[in-house]
Amino acid sequence: MSAVAAPTVEMVVTDSAIGEIKKFLAGEDDLPETAGLRVRVVPGGCSGFQYSLNIEEESRSGDFVMDKGGIKLFVDMFSAQYLNGITIDYTSNMMGSGFTFENPNATGGCGCGTSFSA
């Protein structure tokens, strides 16, 4: 009998992104110690899917929970299949600042950088 390994999700979060996430968390009032950042994929955008980042007070049943630089990340089962191997960064330049996503699972994207197809 061979055991079936549970699916996993691996993500890289750069130091720059961790710093910005910590700023957002610090700006929220009365967050419990169970709070973290939900990283998910939702239908929409010009290429079919888009990324979503939300602060939540706790994980949900079935979530993958990761610790990256002292920050809890919550990923639901649906999103995990699209987020495995992703790198989340935070960049700031003359065009503005924001989170960027480098996704090896994406088969296409668009100019906005927040939408992809898989």
Q: What is the pLDDT of residue 44?
A: 77
Between residues 24 and 95, the one the model is more confident about: 24
User: How does pLDDT run across 24-40, given as a tens digit for each residue?
Assistant: 899 888 899 999 999 99
Q: What is the pLDDT of residues 45-83, one digit of tens each?
A: 666 788 899 999 999 999 999 999 999 999 999 999 889
pLDDT recorded at residue 117: 53
When pLDDT is averaged across residues 16-21 and rounded to a whole number, the result is 95
> What is the spatial distance between Cα 100 and Cα 13, in angstroms, rounded to a whole number?
10
Residue 17 clears pLDDT 70, i.e. is over it: yes
Cα-Cα-Cα-Cα dihedral sign, residues 18, 22, 28, 31:
positive
Domains and CATH numbers, the chain: 11-25+35-113 (2.60.300.12)
Buried b (16+ CB within 10 A) or exposed e, 17-27: bbebbeeebee
Q: Say yes or no to pLDDT of 18 above 90.
A: yes
Q: Is 44 strand, coil or helix?
A: strand
